[in-house]
Structure 1
Amino acid sequence: MKIALTREIKTAILVLLSIGMLIWGYTFLNGKNLFNNSRTFFVEYDNVEGLTTASSVTVNGMVVGKVHHISLQEQGKLLVELMMTEKVDIPKSTRAVIYSPDLIGGKQISLQINYNDKNFAQSGDYLQPGILNGIVDELGAKVDPIAKKLDSVLYNVNILVQSLNKTLDPATQKNLQEALAQLNATMHNANGITGKFDKIVTNNEAKINNMVTDFNNTSKNLSAFSNDLDKIQLQKLQDILTKFDNAAGNLDNMLNDANNGKGNIGKLMKEEQLYNNLEQTTKELNQLLEDVKLNPSRYINISVFGKKTQPYQAPVQQ
């Protein structure tokens, strides 16, 4: 009898332990450890989409806590209770930022700590909220306007097609079909012409190559002729410049001789007596010509009766 009672007690103890472990496991999965005196902090968010109970709370990627509870407050605010499982000093200026650690996982909360702030928060204090959009969120934000524009374009295309269907009556559709058929025939003829042209080119490839070679030779000859012509013109220009240089040298020598008193022009420019004599001679010649005009009888005397010639008298200076 004593052995049977002991077995019942053991069974009862085992059942109680099982129930206790079940309760502890359930609460642990919900982010709360019954055997640990953890600190709790609160954060208010406008939107916690993707964040669930038992989501991880991390510092620089290391898990330091869990999301214990999420409740809806007044005016649509969402109150998130954070339960810390690690002993980490949390300043009051810490921001609790909701982020996506990967593309397919849920949301987590990253504690961005200002280590210069030594005013640490106590259990039950409120932290500052923050939300960091992940790659999927940013991609969705960018794709949404594109999808709207694409939908608008498709709508406009649908309207255009409907308008064309209403505009094109059976006769117009028939004409359009005939035009397309003619265009198809034209393209077929063009393909045939292209094939014939390719055949002609293939059959006369050697001749075409010879023509290209002859053209290259002709081009080289023309280039050489052009170079020779340039040389000839350059030689003529050099000859002209040489003659001009010689003429300029002769003129320079002549001017130097004139400046030095050489030659008739130089003597005329440099010898004052010669210039004075020439000027006096010119003056007397002018007087003689004037006297001839005034008194021709002095120089031309035709005497029929033997009249004596009058003596010369100098003209009166006026």
Structure 2
Amino acid sequence: MKITRELKTGIFAVVVIGLFIWGYNFLKGLNMFDGPLKTYKTEYANVQGLNTASVVTINGVEVGKVVNIEFDKAPERRGHLIVEFSVENDFEFSKKSIAKIYSASLMGGKSLAIVPSYEGEMAEPGDYLSGEIESDIFSSVTEKLNPLQAKVENVIVSADSLMVGLNDIIDAKSRKSIKESIAQLNSVVSNFKQVSQSVNTLVKNNEEKLGKTLNNAEVMTKNLAKLSDTLSNANIGSMVKNLETTVTSINAILTNVEQGKGSLGKLMKDDGMYTNLTNASKELEELLNEMKLHPKRFVHFSLFGKKDKGYKPEVEKKQ
């Protein structure tokens, strides 16, 4: 049987079309030779760069691919994306499992991982799974740097405002005053340095004397410590108590004297006694004077037993 050119052309065209359809579906993640696929769906507000033919994994094992991504047509879910993915083996998981988008590499490629759960009713093809997005290292760094960036911007704005304010406040005269103050401060620092050097020289020259002084101070401290121990061992309490008793007695005596009690008190308070004592003292003084002037009036004695003639007052001779 002879095959005509038209038949060959037709067969070739069919094969090319079939290969094109297979290739197109293969690029979309569908393998037409695997038979009917089990597909599931999930929904995201942002797919983070996930596309068709992205790998689907379970526990790190590739089990399928992303089949289709389309916008949700429901008015209340406008803008959300429905992701349909396939699972090419008989692995079972429940409807509580999670479909999580994650970064497969540092280059930014995204993949879909099913975090399986085995509680509750098992998922059937066409069921929706809960969708989550795992933050990659760049997203985490960006999330942490955004607040820091805002704070840095605020600091820069505040610093700029401060510099503008300083420029407005510090005019030429103020800047000159600041320069003069800095020059004076440098002079003070220089003087302090000279004083410090002088003190160092003084200490170095009198190092031996300072050492002796410190030794003497140490000896004095030890002596004071010994004296303190001696005073501590002494019966200070008894001495203080005796001193208090003595002071109390003296106060009592002074009180009696002040009130005119006793001989000393009467002497100090009784004017008559004072007058009598004064008169007696005066008479005694006159008597002593008389004895000095006329001793014969008071003393009479004879070595030979001569009879005492008695005292006869002398008559003063008239001139």
> Same fold, TM exceeding 0.5?
yes
What's the counterpart of residue 179 of structure 2? 181
For residues 106 and 209 of structure 1, the distance between their equivalents in structure 2, rounded to whole angstroms, comes to: 78
The Cα offsets for residues 85-123 of structure 1, whole Å up to 9 and x where unpaired, read as 444213222111223356553333221211244x32222
Closer, same or farther: CA 113–219 of 1 in aligned 2, 3 Å: farther
Alignment match of 2:136 (pick from 134, 137, 152): 134
One-letter amino acid matched to 1:144? N
Work out the number of aligned pairs and report it: 230
The Cα offsets for residues 274-316 of structure 1, whole Å up to 9 and x where unpaired, read as xxxxxxxxxxxxxxxxxxxxxxxxxxxxxxxxxxxxxxxxxxx
Contact 2:55 2:62 in 1 (8 A): yes
- If the length of structure 1 is used for normalisation, what is the TM-score? 0.58
What's the counterpart of residue 124 of structure 2? 122
By how many angstroms is 1:194 displaced?
Answer: 4.4
Alignment of 1:198-209 (within 5 A): 198-200=196-198, 203-204=201-202, 206-207=204-205, 209=207
Q: Secondary structure at the match of 1:144?
A: helix
- 1:190 to 2:192 alignment: no
One-letter amino acid matched to 1:54? A
- 1:152 to 2:151 alignment: no
Closer, same or farther: CA 65–232 of 1 in aligned 2, 3 Å: same
One-letter amino acid matched to 1:46? A
Alignment of 1:245-260 (within 5 A): none
One-letter amino acid matched to 1:48? V
By how many angstroms is 1:82 displaced?
Answer: 0.9
What's the counterpart of residue 69 of structure 1? 68
One-letter amino acid matched to 2:55? S
For residues 151 and 178 of structure 1, the distance between their equivalents in structure 2, rounded to whole angstroms, comes to: 33
Alignment match of 2:84 (pick from 55, 71, 81): 81
What's the counterpart of residue 40 of structure 1? 39
One-letter amino acid matched to 1:114? S
For residues 174 and 233 of structure 1, the distance between their equivalents in structure 2, rounded to whole angstroms, comes to: 72
For residues 222 and 114 of structure 1, the distance between their equivalents in structure 2, rounded to whole angstroms, comes to: 87
Alignment match of 1:97 (pick from 82, 85, 100): 100
One-letter amino acid matched to 1:186? Q
What's the counterpart of residue 108 of structure 1? 111
Contact 2:39 2:126 in 1 (8 A): yes
Contact 2:58 2:115 in 1 (8 A): yes
By how many angstroms is 1:215 displaced?
Answer: 5.1
The Cα offsets for residues 241-299 of structure 1, whole Å up to 9 and x where unpaired, read as 9x99xxxxxxxxxxxxxxxxxxxxxxxxxxxxxxxxxxxxxxxxxxxxxxxxxxxxxxx
By how many angstroms is 1:202 displaced?
Answer: 5.2
For residues 215 and 52 of structure 1, the distance between their equivalents in structure 2, rounded to whole angstroms, comes to: 91
Q: Secondary structure at the match of 2:63?
A: strand
- If the length of structure 2 is used for normalisation, what is the TM-score? 0.58
Closer, same or farther: CA 183–61 of 1 in aligned 2, 3 Å: farther
Closer, same or farther: CA 206–167 of 1 in aligned 2, 3 Å: closer
Alignment match of 1:224 (pick from 207, 222, 225): 222
By how many angstroms is 1:227 displaced?
Answer: 1.9
Question: Where does structure 2 lack aligned partners over 5 or more consecutive residues?
Answer: 243-319
One-letter amino acid matched to 1:45? Y
Question: Where does structure 1 lack aligned partners over 5 or more consecutive residues?
Answer: 245-318
One-letter amino acid matched to 2:233? Q
Closer, same or farther: CA 59–211 of 1 in aligned 2, 3 Å: farther
Contact 2:39 2:87 in 1 (8 A): yes
For residues 180 and 221 of structure 1, the distance between their equivalents in structure 2, rounded to whole angstroms, comes to: 53
Q: Secondary structure at the match of 1:50?
A: coil
Q: Secondary structure at the match of 2:128?
A: coil
For residues 67 and 22 of structure 1, the distance between their equivalents in structure 2, rounded to whole angstroms, comes to: 20
Contact 2:96 2:119 in 1 (8 A): no
Q: Secondary structure at the match of 1:79?
A: strand
By how many angstroms is 1:18 displaced?
Answer: 8.9
Out of 192-201 and 175-184, give the one that drifted further.
192-201
Q: Secondary structure at the match of 2:223?
A: helix
Q: Secondary structure at the match of 1:53?
A: coil
Closer, same or farther: CA 88–216 of 1 in aligned 2, 3 Å: farther
For residues 138 and 201 of structure 2, the distance between their equivalents in structure 1, rounded to whole angstroms, comes to: 63
For residues 220 and 14 of structure 2, the distance between their equivalents in structure 1, rounded to whole angstroms, comes to: 114
The alignment-based identity, stated in percent, is: 28
